[in-house]
Structure 1
Amino acid sequence: MQIGVIMGGISQEREISLLTGTEIMKNLNRDKYEVIPLSINTRFQLIDMVKSLQFVFIALHGNFGEDGIVQSILETLGISYSGSGVLSSALCMNKNISKKIFISENIMTPEWIMVKYEDEMNYNDAQILGYPLVVKPNSGGSSIATFIVNTKDELKESLIDVLKYDNEAMVEKYIKGDEITCCILNGKILPIISIKPKSEFFNYKNKYDQNGAEEKIIQLPQDIKEKVELIATKCWKIFNLEVYARVDMIIKAKEIYVLEINTLPGMTKNSLFPKSAAAFGLSYTELLDKIIQYSLEKDNK
């Protein structure tokens, strides 16, 4: 089978996408697949590159990758692809909409307010949330342009930076607790990973540096484990996720807060999903086989 690996793209996460794509290509089973690299720099390259392929492995991150646009193009062309569909991808990419859905489904998430590019920030609202606050792009990932702020002046400065990357900024209450991530493969919860960054939070450098954070498989107390798995499964079903996804959470005093859902989790050599799969007993190559298998199966349902 011919498999095209789309990487690069036009978002701020291009560099990470190239790392993800390179690692995927390195680990795909060449006895099974003819692997074709597809590094894109513009939206217009995609159609010509993929139109003769049987399957596309999406290694893109950020806008025009995780937001459902690439998925809709591939569906229009009748080409199978890895991961969740158009609507699921779009909903999870938009943190504001995701959090509104969490609240409607009684899933706890940190309180937040939105600031649009053309609007002025109401700093009284921020005061009500209470410092420290997390400031980040509404549709970004990889912790790019993400800040923890402790004062009004820091908030002002961070909003200027964030709104260079996105036309909407999320100002979110900072929850100090234990950060974990739940990787899900075809609806199955894989071993839970605890994340303890070397700096104040799990930022871009922590995520992709070899020793940027302590990431390890953990055994939670049974009652907390059941609660975490229940919430992760609920997210999978509510957002109609498919094939694979990662749900990021914070545990504070036995309360579980969902931060966000990643429909195309990072797959670099330092990424969380391959680590969780390895603890489950799947090598990287076997994980890629499973993702391809489940992606093809979803098209035949």
Structure 2
Amino acid sequence: MKVGVLMGGVSSEREVSLLSGEEIMKYMDKEKYEVFPIVIDSKDEVLEKVRGLDFVFLALHGAFGEDGSIQALLESISTTYSGCGVLTSALCMSKKQSKRILKAESIITPPGFIVNENKELSIELIETLGYPMVVKPNNGGSSVGTFIVSNRKALMESIEKAFKYDEQLLIEKYLEGEEYTISVLNGEVLPILQIKAKGEFFDYSSKYLDGGAEEVAAKLPKVLEEEMNKIAIACWEIFDCRAYVRIDIIVHEGVPYVLELNTLPGMTKNSLFPRSASFAGMEYSVLLDNIIKASQRDIYKDREHFC
């Protein structure tokens, strides 16, 4: 089978994408797959570069990676790819839309406001959340352009900085608590990881630099663990996830709050999904193989159902 690993891209997370792609290339089983690196610098070159491949493993992150755009492009030429479909990717990429859906399904998320670049900003209304707050792009990941603020001056400065990454921002109440991430592979929950960031929060450096954070298998009370597993499966089903997804949660005063869903989780050596799989006794190459198999199976199932 000819597998192309699509990496690079046009988003602010290009560097992370390249790291993920290199790691996937390194560990994919060469006895099963003929693997080709596909580094893209623009949207226009994708179709030409993927022609003739049997499968595309998406190592893209951010815009034109996780937002459904590349998924739609690949579906337009009937090319099978890894991960979630067009609609799921688009909904989960938008924190605004995913929070709306989660709330409608009675899944708790931190309170917050959406701020648009071209609309009048009511600082007084935002401040009803109470400090500290988190400022982040509505469409983005890897904590790029994310800030924790504790006063009005810092809030205004962070809003200005974050608008460089997106024209729409999410400003949430910062909830102090333990951070966890739940990896779901083909509808099955892998071991929950607790994240102990060395910095102020689990930022870009914590996620991708050696020693930036400690991720350990979570030791949770049985009731809380069962509740978090239940939440993860509910998220998987609500958004019609496919192959794999990672759900980030913070437990504040004993209550799990869903922060976001990652439809193309990072796959570097320091990334959370491979680490969670390793705690389940799954080697990296086996994880990649399982993702490919699950993606193929689900895509063919969807096409048969549509027909």
- TM-score, normalization by structure 2: 0.97
Stretches of structure 1 that go unaligned for 5 or more consecutive residues are: none
**Where does residue 133 of structure 1 map in the other structure?**
133
**Where does residue 216 of structure 1 map in the other structure?**
216
SS in 2 for 1:32: coil
Correspondence 1:105 to 2:105 = yes
User: Taking every aligned residue pair, what percent have the same amino acid on both sides?
Assistant: 50
- When the two chains are superposed, the root-mean-square deviation of aligned CA atoms in Å is 0.6
The letter for the 2-side match of 1:206 is S
SS in 2 for 1:256: strand
Post-superposition shift, 1:121?
Answer: 1.8
SS in 2 for 1:80: coil
Stretches of structure 2 that go unaligned for 5 or more consecutive residues are: 302-307
Question: 2:65, 2:260 → 1: CA distance?
Answer: 17
| Deviation string, structure 1 residues 208-241 (Cα, Å, up to 9, x no partner) | 1110111101121000001000101000000000
Question: 1:58, 1:127 → 2: CA distance?
Answer: 39
The letter for the 1-side match of 2:41 is N
Moved over 6 A (4+): none
**Where does residue 92 of structure 1 map in the other structure?**
92
Question: 2:159, 2:279 → 1: CA distance?
Answer: 39
The letter for the 2-side match of 1:85 is G
SS in 1 for 2:160: helix
**Where does residue 37 of structure 1 map in the other structure?**
37
Question: 2:194, 2:125 → 1: CA distance?
Answer: 32
**Where does residue 145 of structure 1 map in the other structure?**
145
**Where does residue 305 of structure 2 map in the other structure?**
none
Question: 2:199, 2:76 → 1: CA distance?
Answer: 44
The letter for the 2-side match of 1:34 is E
The letter for the 2-side match of 1:104 is A
**Where does residue 190 of structure 1 map in the other structure?**
190
Post-superposition shift, 1:82?
Answer: 0.3
- TM-score, normalization by structure 1: 0.99
Question: 1:248, 1:90 → 2: CA distance?
Answer: 17
Question: 1:111, 1:160 → 2: CA distance?
Answer: 21
**Where does residue 59 of structure 1 map in the other structure?**
59
Residues 258-277 of structure 1 aligned to structure 2 (within 5 Å): 258-277=258-277
Residues 14-33 of structure 1 aligned to structure 2 (within 5 Å): 14-33=14-33
Question: 1:133, 1:109 → 2: CA distance?
Answer: 14
Question: 1:120, 1:272 → 2: CA distance?
Answer: 38
**Where does residue 71 of structure 2 map in the other structure?**
71
SS in 1 for 2:87: helix
**Number of residue pairs matched?**
301
Question: 1:112, 1:253 → 2: CA distance?
Answer: 18
**Where does residue 115 of structure 2 map in the other structure?**
115
| Deviation string, structure 1 residues 225-284 (Cα, Å, up to 9, x no partner) | 010001010000000001000000001122110000000000000000000001111100
The letter for the 2-side match of 1:28 is M
Question: 2:11, 2:142 → 1: CA distance?
Answer: 11
Post-superposition shift, 1:126?
Answer: 1.8
Question: 2:16, 2:24 → 1: CA distance?
Answer: 12
Question: 2:79, 2:284 → 1: CA distance?
Answer: 24
SS in 1 for 2:141: coil
**Where does residue 287 of structure 1 map in the other structure?**
287
Question: 2:281, 2:211 → 1: CA distance?
Answer: 23
**Where does residue 47 of structure 2 map in the other structure?**
47
**Where does residue 231 of structure 2 map in the other structure?**
231
Question: 2:272, 2:288 → 1: CA distance?
Answer: 14
SS in 2 for 1:196: strand
The letter for the 2-side match of 1:215 is E
Question: 1:299, 1:196 → 2: CA distance?
Answer: 36
**Where does residue 241 of structure 2 map in the other structure?**
241
SS in 2 for 1:44: helix
